[in-house]
Structures are given as structure tokens and as C-alpha cells.
Structure 1
Amino acid sequence: MMVKLFFLLLMWVCSQVRGQEGILHVSNGSTFREYCLLYNSTWSNISDSLSRAESYPVQVLLSSQLCVRGQQGSLRGQAVVVERGGCEVSQKGLVAQDLDASVLLVSSVSDLESPSENGSEFRRLKIPVALVRHREVLDALQVFPRGMEVRLYAPPVPLFDASIVVMFLIAVVTVTTGGFWSGAAERLKQAAGPVCDSSDGRSDGGEVSLYSPLKVFLFVVMMCVMLVLMYFFYRWLVYVIIVIFCLASASALYNCLDSLMTALSCSTLSVSCRERSVSVRSLLLAAVCITLSVIWGVYRNDDRWIWILQDLLGIAFCLNFLKTISLSNFKICVILLSLLLLYDVFFVFITPFLTPNGESIMVQVALGPGAGGKGEGRVVRVPGDNSTSYERLPVVMRIPQFSALAQNLCMMQFSILGYGDIIIPGLLVAYCHRFDVWIGSSRRIYFLSCSVAYAVGLLLTFTVMLLSRMGQPALLYLVPCTLLTSAGLACVRKEFKRFWSGSGTYQVLEESRKPLLSDGDAGRGGGVRSC
């Protein structure tokens, strides 16, 4: 019975849905071009495949807005192209229908929106009505100067896209690799002996430890303030974030590559100059990392390929963050993850009731205020000829959707996952691996269990997203999965008290910052330095 239910669910997930982006197939003999068109699937019936779509000769009337019937003669059996403006799209459609046209294509230089001005007017339409970009109409006229025929079709879009699988693998591999790197660094630190921490939580090795609940709370408050500021002052602050990302990602990529080469025992190729040693490897790595960061900064708005470089820099940023920032004990993990869960849910689910356009602050900031695509209800917006490029925050992994042919023709569609959905649970995974090191667990039981819990939570996130066809705050599923799994394992192994408070010598002291050794012991220790 469970097997049958699984296959039924799988079939439903892989079923196809109708969108509002379509394809305008223009041809003349063996030559053809395909362009984006936008229509309202409620009022216009368009074929779902090119082979079943009817072919219509084209009548281009760019000098006419077709708002009054008396301006044109009969358009029987033709697909007529007119300019946008002068009257509503529904009025143009009714005039074209009265003139016996078979299709109405409205050429627009402004952003395309699926027609929805007047429902009662559209109900009277019997012909397909769609919007096309003006520049694409001009391109078709140049390619087919002796006439052309058009076919309209809207291939159904699978609800499940393979890009989700790629995103899942990227997130899981990044979290497990970052957690493993953090534990490996802790093992090296343990072999080198006790490391003292400064008053701000920074160790001699450069790692920063979060040990104070107050500091965690202030950190989350700062995140909330920053997100609200980004919502109101996005136009200016986005460039600050872009510059910070370029610097941070270049540094993170350098640390990742340098650590990888060190682990592979690659030579540093040091050169001595005036009694100073210069590492040729470090210089080459720095040059490569800075170059990649600059390339991303210059071409950051080119959706065709820049997502590859952004994801590479993003993975390096997340890995370096998980290795550099550490949580001192499970209590801090619970406080941080719980507060950020509330932060995520509030800014995704609650803020739509507080914003004037009904859009969540989190989505608006993550996608950018100028982002096209899905809007409220069934309205779809696609950038037109006069649309200016808008800046987006480089805080998400992006994978282009493979199966959305018509949507990608109109505007590239991406599956996205925020860095926070990788870093925040990843900090707990890293703590679990460090705890394995503290207790001498060769099987890494806490690390493996928390990594599996993260994968399960992410899989649950994507499943709910597909079933509801809505974006989900991933921390809503990731935080309970990882926290409950880690706490449950510690209880079963009867190590919860130690897991909660951290581990002996490497436990970072909280606000009191008391010395690990008494004054008397320190005096007898001679060479022992108290922290």
C-alpha cells in the first residue's frame, strides 16, 4: 500500500502544469525563429505543442492601435500585430475579433504582464490574445521581410525540475564538507594543545567562537535591522553588499584553495627576496581568486552564465564561514537556530500582511524589487524592451530550471537557495563534528547523524514547496530536523549534559570568562599560560 502511495505521489509531482508564458513560432519555409509571448490562460486557449498548433499568416499593423473598428478592413484568418496603448488589451481583442482575425498579438516596449484588466470583456473573446516584445517583432520583420506565418503554443511545464536535485546536492555537499573541515581543524588544534581565546571570542588560529547568548541575540537583531534597511534602501545598500561579497568571496576562495593544496602536499614554491620569503603559490592563488571575484562583479547581471561563478564563490564563502565561525556548545546552537527560525518565518509568512504590495520582505530583498516573474495571484510579469537591469543580492545559490522552455525564453527561471539555509544548520553540523573530536568518536556519530538530518530536512523543504507550489522558509524544516536529531542522539548515548555545555579543555567560557587554572596552579605550572 505504501509503495502505491509513493508512486501516486511521484506521478503527481512529475505531472505537468500550464503556465502563462508561451512561445511564438515564426516561420517562412525552412527558416524559423521562436520568441516569448505572454497570455492569460484563463481567457486564451493556446495549443500545448507545436505540432498541434494552427498556422496563421501575419498582418503587421504597428502604425495602428486597433482601438476602433472603422480603422481597418477585414482581417479574416490572420494573426494581427498591433501596438500597445490607446485602449485596454481586451478592447483591442474585441475589435480584432469583430474583424475576423484569428489571433491578436500586442507589441509592447514596456514590461509584459499577462492580460487581466477586465474579466467581463475577456469572457467575450474567442480568439487568443497575447503580448510580445516590440524588439522581437522588429527582429521577425528583419528575418522574414517577404512575409511570415506564426504558430502559438505553450508547452506544459513539469512541476518537478531537475535543478532541484542539483541544488539539493550542492547544499548537502557544502554543509557536510564545511562541517568536516571544521572538525578537522579542531583535531589539529587539539593535537597542538590548548589554544587561548581573546575577549572577543577569537582564537589564536583565527577562528571566531560564539559563546555568549547575549551576543547571539544581538547578532539576530542586527540581521533583522539590516533586512528592514535593505527593504527600504535597497537601491543604495545593494552595492555595499556586492562590494563586501566580492572581497569576502575572494578571501574565502583563497582559503579553500590554499587549504586544499596544503592537504594535497603541494609545494609552496617560496622565493627569497631581501631576507624575506615570498610564496609563489600564494601569489598565484590570490591573483586567480581576485580575478574571479572581479569577473563576477563586472558580469554579475548576465544570467546566461554568471550563475556558475556566483555559485562557486558562494560555496567557497559558505565553506570558509563554517570553518571560521564556531558555536561553543549546544546551548548556543539552540538559541541561535531557534531565533533565526523565528526570523525566517516572520519575514516570509508574517510580513506580507504588513507590506503594501502583499509581498514578503524576505522574498522582495532576496529577488530584488525589480525582479520579474510571478507576481500576485495569476499575474506574470516579464521585462520588456525598456526595462533597466536591476541589481540582486549575491546571497543565494542559483541553478537555472532545465524544463521551463517557454519561461526561459521569456526570462531565465532559477531554483534558488539562500546562503543562510546552508550556513545556519551547517554551524550545528560543524559543532557536532567538533564534539565527535572532543569525545574521541572515531565513527563521527554526531556529525553523520546531523548531516543526514540536514539532508532529510532539505528534502522535506523541497517536497512541501512542490506540493504547495510556493516558496518555503527552509529553516522551518531544517532547524527542527537537525536540533531534534542531535539532542535525541545525545540523550540516547547519555551524553546530553556534556553535549549541552561543550567539552572540557576546549569549552569556551561564557560571560564570566573565569581562568581555567587557579592562581596557585598557574604559579606552579611555570610555563603554562592561563586563558
Structure 2
Amino acid sequence: MEEVVRVVLLLAIFSTSQVNCQEAILRISKGSEYKEFCIVHNHSWTPLSPTLDAAVQYPLVNLTSSLLCNASGVSPDVVKGKAVVVMRGDCTFSEKALVAQNLGATTLLIASNKSLITPSANDSEYPKVQIPLALMRYRDFVEAQQVFGEGMQVKLYAPPYAKIDPSIAVILLISVLTVSLGGFWSGASERDRLNSVALGGGGGDNKGDSGELSLYSPLKVVIFVAMMCGMLVLMYFFYNILVYIIIAIFCFASASALFSCIDAVMEKCGCSTLSVSVQGKNVSVRSLLLAAVCISIAVVWGVYRNEDRWIWILQDLLGIAFCLNFMKTISLSNFKICVILLSLLLLYDVFFVFITPFFTKNGVSIMVQVALGPDASGEKTQGNMVEIPAEPQAPSEKLPVVMRVPRFSAWAQNLCGMQFSILGYGDIIVPGLLVAYCSRFDVWINSSKKIYFVSCCIAYLLGMILTFAVMLLSGMGQPALLYLVPFTLITSAVVAGCRGEMKQFWAGTTYEVLDSTREPLLSEGRTGRSVEAERC
């Protein structure tokens, strides 16, 4: 049952990316009192000041009774040298801005009862507008009126937006550590199994009891990838129903994975396994307490999963445990299977990220829409647009298939909503399965330097760095497997070829022939050529 849950959840794991936004801050004050609100602007209009001190303060004139599509009924003396706030509707943003500018206004705020979107216009319209323009929530203006009344002063400023946020380093650290630990754990488990075989413990039975599974058939790999494609398409069309099923499965699978991870650490540390007898059966007190803690963590996440301020910590903890346990229990039997699986998933990733936007109605890729939820706006314009609800809304459900770390430099996140750097579990698990295979192969050939494992981990690190670099330079999300798969596969193949072990590395071992008489592929007494290759 647990293996089935893992497979089903993996079918819902997709890579995703980060989104750039164009939020700014509106500071409304009267005397010594002030309050700040979220506004949305466009860099193509007149730029806003990067700091509060450098921003110019203007009196605010309330023209929300007007749409300002023309100058009728508005006296220039009333708005000259002041900031004006008008209602959204009936004409374009540029038309309102030109009317306000001709009347002598210094700043235009457009109050909206609809979602705030990045104000845009034809390229020919931008040079005509010489005053700052931004959208604000109408409810924020009403709140400011209630607090300050008449005589309000305003400042608009947009602190520099750091493209290279420290959260990227945290995401990179999480991914590399998870892949490395998962690969190391897989290799350690294989070594324990071989030692059990040497002592007559029965390797095949031990593997079956531990719940480990091995992919050894190319046909099964193809079927698995086809199921992933089908699952993704189903999630796209029936998201509102299937998202709750995936959330429930994640709670169960992640609690089980967290139990396995912590239990393995406690076992390694030699923690006591006090047992009590219940109806003739011995029950481990440690296991009971640990199970209660893991289930409680999963339940807390399930209940508070939409609390962005802090729940990301639990989601990342459960996600790390899930990825580690998956890499340890699901093994690829040889390099041929690794090449087939990773290559097919690379094509899958690229197709659903880059190709599907040409077929969807809103121009958003199926991968991004499913990973970020139906409210995944901004991607349709490569991250140059932002959409913020005008009224408080119930949080939309999102699939728990990504690592999330708040952007530390997101200065307006408390006003406009938290921004996150995210990485899909698939970008950890898929290359991680190859890293785990390399770790097991090091065990089979008795490599004291763990050359395959170490080199594959370094390749994964370089692939992740390239992924983030391309994303930052292009300003749009990237399918990480596009870089991770070539880096890890080519590096592993080069190491095997350099050491003269490609034949063994390609063939590996299979679950079907693995039995108690299995010996390492290369014994300690290797030929002179193989010994020399150890230095490669």
C-alpha cells in the first residue's frame, strides 16, 4: 500500500519556477501618523523613487467620484501640483494619465474594485505620460479615509527588486543536501544488505521486507512516464477535485517518510527501543512516540496548509523526508534504466513547460498551472505581469509538490502577499534516483572514494546553479531537468568510461537476479587496469 501511495504522489510532482512582480508601496500620512498600502505599477511608465526619503510628498485629492476619462467637471486649480485618486473603468490607463497630466496633476492613483494588474498600454503611449501611475485597492483608499479623513499626504516608492534573492541559496542548499543524503542513504542500505547476504541473512527477503522497489524493465519505465503525463493532464482539467486527493496522499506519505528518516537516525545513534507487551505482541515505545510526532506534524500541515507565514517550514520538512525516503526505497537497477527514465522525463518536462502554452486558453503552461494552481498568473507574460486581488479571498489550494522559501528581499510582501522561491520535488527526486544508483554502484565495486556518488552530486550542484543562472538572466521559469539530466547523465557516463567500467555500469544489476549469492560486480582484487582507473 505504501509503495502505491509513493507512486501516485510522484505522478503529481512537477517542476516549477519563480515569478517576478512589480509591486510598490503607497505611504499615506497626516502629521506624524502614516500607513502603507500595496500598489501595482509598471516600469515602462514614469519610474518611482527607489527610497522613501527620495520620494516627493504630494497632497492627495479625492476624485473617486470621477473616472477621469475627460477633463469635464474637474478644475485644474483643484488638482494642480497634487496627487489624484480616481476610479478604474470606461477608458484606458493611458487616457486617464494624459487627462490628469494635462490638468497639472503630479501623480495618478487608480482605485480598483477588481484585481490589480500591471497597468499597460501601447508602446507609443508610454513616452507621452510624464507622471507616475499606479493601481491601488479601493478598499485601501476607503480605509485611509476612515483613518486620516481629509488632508492626506502621499508618497510612492519602489525599493530595488533584488533578482538574486538569498532564498535561492537556501533552495539550492536544500536540494543539494537532499540529493546527497538520499544517495548516501541508498548506498548505506545496499551495503547493509550485502553484509546481511555475506552473513547468510538472505538479501532478497531483506529487500522485500524493507519495502524497497526496483525499476528494471524499460517497458515499465515507459508506462510510468505515460502515467505521469496522464496524471498531469487530469490535474489540469480536474484540479479542484484531485488537489484534495493529492493533499491527503501527501499527508500520509510524508508522515510515513518522516518516520522512516527519523527512525533511521535514531537507530544509527543507538537510541533505546524499549518494548512493551500488548496482548502477547511486543510494541516499540520509541516507534509509537515517533509515529505520534510524525502524524501530528502531517496533520498540523494539513490543517494550516494555507498559512503562508510559517507553514512553508513544515512543508519543506515533510518534502525533504518524502524525497529522502523515495530515493532510498525506489531504485534503478542499471544505468540503461537511468538513461531511459531521465531522458523521457526531460522530454516530459520540456513539453509541458514550453510547448503546452501554445494550446492552453490563457497561454500558461500546463506544468506551471498545475504546480502553482489555477491562480498562477504572471507566467503568461514571462513573469512581467502581476495580479493582486482587490478584496480578501479564500486561499486557493495548491499541490504540496514544491519546496518553498520566502523571498527575503521581498520588501512589499507584507502588503501585497508573500513571495516565494520554489523548486519542484521532481527536480530533486528524478536526478536523485541516478545519484542513488551511483552510490549503490560504488558499493558493488567497493570504491572507497565513492567516485561515482561524489561526481554525480557535483554534477547536480552545477546543473542547479546553471538552472538558476538561466532563470535569472531570462526572467522566466525554467524546466530544471533540462539542465540537471544532461549534467548528471553525461558526468556519470564520463566517469565510467574514464575508469573502464562502462560495461558494468551500464548493466548494473536487476531485482530479478539479485539473490543471496550475489557478489560485488568487481572484487577487491581487480585487474591492474581497473586499479589504475581508480585514480581517474
Counterpart in the other structure of 2:3: none
Counterpart in the other structure of 1:382: 388
Counterpart in the other structure of 2:98: 94
Amino acid at match of 1:508: Y
Match among 23, 46, 49 for residue 47 of structure 1: 49
Is this contact kept in 2: 1:398–1:417, CA < 8 A? yes
Separation in 1, partners of 2:184, 2:467:
24
Counterpart in the other structure of 2:438: 432
Q: CA deviation at 1:62?
A: 3.5
Q: CA deviation at 1:276?
A: 2.3
Separation in 1, partners of 2:113, 2:439:
56
Counterpart in the other structure of 1:338: 343
Equivalent positions of 1:294-443 (< 5 A) are: 294-373=299-378, 375-376=380-381, 378-385=384-391, 387-406=393-412, 409-443=415-449
> What secondary structure is seen at the aligned counterpart in 1 of 2:209?
coil
> What secondary structure is seen at the aligned counterpart in 1 of 2:208?
coil
Match among 31, 55, 59 for residue 57 of structure 1: 59
Separation in 2, partners of 1:463, 1:69:
49
Equivalent positions of 1:21-420 (< 5 A) are: 21-73=23-75, 74-117=78-121, 123-145=127-149, 147-193=151-197, 194-196=202-204, 203-373=208-378, 375-376=380-381, 378-385=384-391, 387-406=393-412, 409-420=415-426
Counterpart in the other structure of 1:6: none
Alignment CA distance shift 1:274-1:386 (3 Å): closer
Separation in 1, partners of 2:456, 2:385:
41
Amino acid at match of 1:385: E
Separation in 1, partners of 2:334, 2:379:
42
Is this contact kept in 2: 1:19–1:41, CA < 8 A? no
Q: Deviations over 1:414-453 (max 9, x none)?
A: 1111101100110111111111111112221111111111
Q: Deviations over 1:465-500 (max 9, x none)?
A: 122222111111111111111111111222111111
Separation in 2, partners of 1:130, 1:26:
14
Amino acid at match of 1:426: G
Q: CA deviation at 1:268?
A: 2.4
Is this contact kept in 1: 2:64–2:85, CA < 8 A? yes
> What secondary structure is seen at the aligned counterpart in 1 of 2:483?
helix
Separation in 1, partners of 2:378, 2:108:
23
Alignment CA distance shift 1:384-1:371 (3 Å): farther
Amino acid at match of 1:268: T
Is this contact kept in 1: 2:467–2:483, CA < 8 A? yes
Q: CA deviation at 1:197?
A: 6.9
Q: CA deviation at 1:123?
A: 4.7
Aligned CA-pair RMSD: 2.4
| 2:516 is the alignment partner of 1:508 | no
Of stretches 462-471 and 214-223 in structure 1, the one that deviates more from structure 2 is 462-471
Separation in 2, partners of 1:168, 1:337:
20
Q: CA deviation at 1:408?
A: 6.0
Counterpart in the other structure of 2:534: none
Alignment CA distance shift 1:404-1:515 (3 Å): closer
Of stretches 186-195 and 221-230 in structure 1, the one that deviates more from structure 2 is 186-195
Counterpart in the other structure of 1:487: 493
Normalised to the residue count of structure 2, the TM-score between the two structures is 0.86
Q: Deviations over 1:89-113 (max 9, x none)?
A: 3333333334322212112222101
Is this contact kept in 2: 1:176–1:451, CA < 8 A? yes
Report the count of equivalent residues: 492
Aligned sequence identity (%): 61
Normalised to the residue count of structure 1, the TM-score between the two structures is 0.87
Q: CA deviation at 1:373?
A: 4.3
Is this contact kept in 2: 1:450–1:486, CA < 8 A? yes
Is this contact kept in 1: 2:203–2:516, CA < 8 A? no
Separation in 1, partners of 2:372, 2:98:
37
Amino acid at match of 1:96: A
Counterpart in the other structure of 1:525: none
Is this contact kept in 1: 2:44–2:126, CA < 8 A? no
Counterpart in the other structure of 1:463: 469
Q: CA deviation at 1:68?
A: 4.4
Is this contact kept in 2: 1:182–1:323, CA < 8 A? yes
Counterpart in the other structure of 1:526: none
> What secondary structure is seen at the aligned counterpart in 2 of 1:41?
coil
> What secondary structure is seen at the aligned counterpart in 1 of 2:182?
helix
Amino acid at match of 1:439: I
Separation in 1, partners of 2:360, 2:447:
50
Is this contact kept in 2: 1:111–1:387, CA < 8 A? no
Of stretches 340-349 and 100-109 in structure 1, the one that deviates more from structure 2 is 100-109
Q: CA deviation at 1:29?
A: 3.1
Q: Which of structures 1 and 2 has the larger relative contact order (alpha carbons within 8 angstroms, sep 6+)?
A: 2
Separation in 1, partners of 2:47, 2:441:
61
Separation in 2, partners of 1:282, 1:509:
32
Structure 2 stretches lacking a partner, 5+ long: 1-19, 519-536
Separation in 2, partners of 1:86, 1:385:
21
Q: Deviations over 1:9-43 (max 9, x none)?
A: xxxxxxxxx96321112223333222211112212
Separation in 1, partners of 2:437, 2:123:
57
Counterpart in the other structure of 1:12: none
> What secondary structure is seen at the aligned counterpart in 2 of 1:470?
coil
Separation in 1, partners of 2:515, 2:298:
43
Is this contact kept in 2: 1:109–1:386, CA < 8 A? no
Alignment CA distance shift 1:361-1:221 (3 Å): same
Separation in 2, partners of 1:143, 1:322:
56
Separation in 1, partners of 2:284, 2:132:
67
> What secondary structure is seen at the aligned counterpart in 1 of 2:290?
helix
